Structures are given as C-alpha cells and as structure tokens.
Structure 1
C-alpha cells in the first residue's frame, strides 16, 4: 500500500470552519475622516473594479462613468444619525473632492 505524502495534521486543519470575514474591519483601512468647511466627512475610495454604476458628481455635475475610480463621501457628524448620513452619501470625482465641497 502506497504512503500518502500529506501531513495528517494539515488535513484536520482544513476541515475547521474559516472565521467569518469582518467587512467593517477590511474597509476601515481605506475609509478616512476629513474635515471640510467645519464639517466632518467619511471618505472612502472606490476602485475602477468596484465602480460598476454611473453616478452624478455633485462637484462638477458631470457623470462618473462605470469603471472610473472615484470617492464616496458622507457626513460623519450629522444630527440625524449614522443611518441618515450614510443614506445621503454622494459619489465624487477624486479631483472634484480635492478642490473642495462646499
């Protein structure tokens, strides 16, 4: 009978369930907080691969086409709470965000 070259300890480990991914922790590294015009904003980049829909940039009022890297920004200090701030998030061209929302 032929011998197996695999370690038995390794096979047992592969059957263990994988820990659940913490999406919040993964995305927190990309998200940052900025202060603009006395307001605090959450800013998160969107890569070319993640950009699958078209959006209207509030800075220049031009379309952000699918496949174009850009930013998503939402208030971090709104009085209506986190859910309302997240619901009112906007997609910005990176350049438009740099030159400043008002």
Structure 2
C-alpha cells in the first residue's frame, strides 16, 4: 500500500463516552466546541449579538478552561454563540 493512500485512511476511534465532550480548540482561556446544526435541539441566547441561537443552527459552545479540566464546569458555565459572533468577539466592546 502506498504511503499516500495509507495516510488518507481513517481509523475507527472506537466507542466514545457521550458525556465526555470532543473539544476542538482552547482559546483565550475558553474551551471551544463546535456543534453541527443537527445536534442542536434547544434555543439559546448568543452573548455576542443578544439574538437567539435557534434549534438546528450550527454554533459553538464555550466554557472556562479552568473549570473544564478541573472537572468543575457546570452547564451554567457554558455559553452558546453563533459561530460568526464568536469569531468577531474581539471586535465587540
């Protein structure tokens, strides 16, 4: 098998605990998780624009890094942002 073909193969990671979040990035002291629209079933309020993040909308969920790794993060610590609002958060006052 050629090395090129070998690199493109995906490995099955096996079963995943649904209660352990898949964390994409850690930025500015926040843990960031990107959610697809299909996994969103509730309405949230985006702190960036103060508009609703409606069910079925792809968005990001962020929570403080210190609480996440220490096992102390609670659902009250999480914030649901529109993806463009999260990307533009440094330009807002």
TM-score calculated relative to the size of structure 1: 0.61
- Residue pair 2:63, 2:73 contacting (<8 A) in 1 also: no
Moved over 3 A (4+): 84-87
Taking the aligned partners of 1:82 and 1:98, their CA distance within structure 2 comes to 26
Pairing 1:47-62 to 2, within 5 Å after superposition: 47-62=36-51
* Corresponding residue of 1:23: 17
Give the aligned CA root-mean-square deviation in angstroms: 2.6
TM-score, reference length from structure 2: 0.66
Question: Gaps (5+ residues) in structure 1?
Answer: 1-19
**Structure 2 alignment gaps of length 5 or more:** 1-13
In the alignment of these two chains, the number of paired residues is: 75
Q: Which has the larger radius of gyration?
A: 1
| C-alpha displacement of 1:77 | 2.7
CA distance in 2, matches of 1:61, 1:88: 17
